[in-house]
Amino acid sequence: MSTLMAQQRSMHELDSMAALRQSVRNRIGITGDVEEDELLYHLEQASRDIKDLFASSFGPCGLNKIIISPTDDIYMTSDGKTIIEEIDVLHPVVTSLKELARSMDRACGDGTKTAVILAASLIENAARLAGYGLHPTTIIKGYQLALNKAYEILEYESIQAVSEEDLNSVIENASLSKGVEYRQARIITELVLRTLTNLKSMDDDGHIDLNEYVKVLKKVGGPSMECISGIVLDETPARDDMPRHFKDARVLILNYNVKFESKIINSQHNIRIDGFDNSMLLSREQTRAVKSLAKKIIDSGADVVLCEGSVDGSVEDSLAKQGILLFNKLKMKDLEMISKATGASIISIKDNITHEDLGFAAEVNVEKKCNEYFLFLSASKQPISTILIWEPFRYGLEKIEEAVDDALNNAAFMLKNPLVVKGGGDIEFVLAQMLRRYASTVEGKEQLAVIAYADSLEEIPRILSRNAGLNETDAMIKMLSYYNRGIDCRIDRSRKVSENSPPVYDSSSMKKLSIIAATEAVSSVLRVDKILLKK
């Protein structure tokens, strides 16, 4: 009987593994080895599908995607990284573009859709050229020539952001790309620029690490946005009878629990804990130990105590009687930011607490808004800020958070390297025209790859015009007319092709990173000559 059950269990496990293997292969979209003409078809089809997926969400007139995950989580977003991360496809080309999106997000936090659309267009055009008989190495060489020339042109076309309006234009453009209203984009721009300018003035080397120095807190309510120099936490005080406001507060940060914890009681087994006297003895010792923990905190001179773990009720009672504010069960990431803001050390209750371990906060305030408690901890002399976003609806909240995130990343880049290029699809159109002229100077079949690169760049203004409701052929003719007359133009958010005045700008650094990352990702894909499916 046991042998039969083991065999049945083994068969069930094999069936489960086979089902899992088949599920993965369905997500890959490949049933066997792929090479030659079939490989070209796969490259072209996968890249076209990804480009179409991203294209409709590109630019200020782009639409949103609703993505339902395998766990039934629903995402409504136009963010490029979120879209490509959540689609449940494991095709090699899609995987390469996913890695491109991740690398762009890590490098600059924006430009994901531009890079992925450009890469997908390059792969699609390369597959077509390979079908005409061009060798992949010839295409790669031509793409590299085009990249070098495009980078050179970008260097020439980049201008210094000399005025505040130029800087505002870049940040507003980044916010508008997430579909927020113009009024909201203006508010986000002012808030973000004020935040980062303040942080840069406090940091000696002018370096701004957004993950360490800026916290974005989003809540349903409002609508409003505000920036606080310091930290804001949506946490509730440990007790209602604790104070709510401090000036020049001393801050103590504790990790782990603050309670009596002993896993070994009477290890010698020479006392039985079953009598009333022994039970009372143990209870008194526990009470004494807990009181010593409370006394240790009180003697430290702290006004505000922030603890990662839970705190014994007796300790909470003692701190409340001494007028000490306590928050417990906090996230370590928040405690680390508060540590940076206040200069407090993160220590254990078991350590010796000295005055050097305490931090300093200019003001600590606890407020209740929309039935939630918030801790406002101001540290005016420390490079830490919190952006608090209030929106009535969750969807609007997510959209504004994405806009703030892109605005922060663009502002950080601009403050570090204030070079801009013309926005609204103009710089990509100019690059495409100049590369076509450059192609006439290239000898050999690489010339065709340079022209294909130019066609891929022109996809950016074509998609912008299509999303704005324009006829893309008419829009390209209008842009070419402006270009031949030496007039800067753009696909305007008012749904027409217009002169770029007042100018709309994009970050030059992000454009350079986008074309470099896209070209490198495409080169890696084009070096594949066969896809092998492991049996």
Question: 343-388 pLDDT, tens per residue?
Answer: 899 999 888 888 889 999 989 999 988 788 999 998 766 667 888 8
Strands 505-507, 419-422: pairing kind: antiparallel
CA distance 299 to 479: 73
- Tell me if residue 43 falls in helix, strand or coil: helix
> Would you say 506 and 166 are in contact if contact means Cβ atoms under 8 Å apart?
no
DSSP label of 311: B
Strand positions, DSSP E, 423-499: 489-492, 496-499
Write down the pTM of the prediction: 0.77
CA distance 381 to 384: 9
Q: Tens of pLDDT along 230-241?
A: 888 999 999 999
Strand positions, DSSP E, 43-140: 65-68, 74-77
> Would you say 219 and 370 are in contact if contact means Cβ atoms under 8 Å apart?
yes
CA distance 146 to 149: 5
> Would you say 226 and 194 are in contact if contact means Cβ atoms under 8 Å apart?
no
Distances (CA, A) of 116 to 97, 169, 389, 430: 6, 24, 29, 20
What per-residue confidence (pLDDT) applies to 242?
93
pLDDT string in tens for the chain (535-residue length): 556 555 555 554 445 444 434 444 444 455 555 565 667 777 788 788 888 888 888 888 888 887 776 666 777 777 777 777 777 666 677 777 778 877 777 777 778 889 889 999 999 999 999 888 899 999 999 999 999 999 999 999 999 987 888 888 888 888 888 878 888 888 888 888 887 777 666 555 555 667 777 888 888 877 788 887 788 899 999 999 999 999 999 999 999 888 876 554 555 555 555 555 555 555 666 777 788 888 999 999 999 999 999 998 888 999 999 999 999 999 998 898 888 888 899 999 888 888 889 999 989 999 988 788 999 998 766 667 888 888 887 777 778 888 888 888 888 888 788 899 999 999 999 999 999 999 999 989 999 999 999 999 999 999 999 998 899 999 999 999 999 999 999 998 888 999 988 888 898 988 999 999 999 989 988 887 766 666 5
No. of H helices and E strands in the chain?
Answer: 17, 18
Tokens of 419: 């070079």
Quote the Cα angle for 99-515-129, to 5°.
90
DSSP label of 37: H
What per-residue confidence (pLDDT) applies to 17?
41
Strand positions, DSSP E, 179-291: 214-220, 224-233, 245-255
> Scanning the structure block, which residue is given the tokens 């031509």?
142
Q: What are the CB-based long-range contacts (under 8 Å, 24+) for 133-137? A: 134/445, 134/448, 134/449, 136/526, 136/527, 136/529
CA distance 179 to 396: 10
> Would you say 266 and 385 are in contact if contact means Cβ atoms under 8 Å apart?
no
Question: Could you tell me which residues come within 8 angstroms of residue 273 by beta carbon, excluding any fewer than 6 positions away?
Answer: 265, 266, 279, 282
Strands across the sheet containing 419-422: 159-160, 419-422, 505-507
Q: Which amino acid is at 22?
A: Q
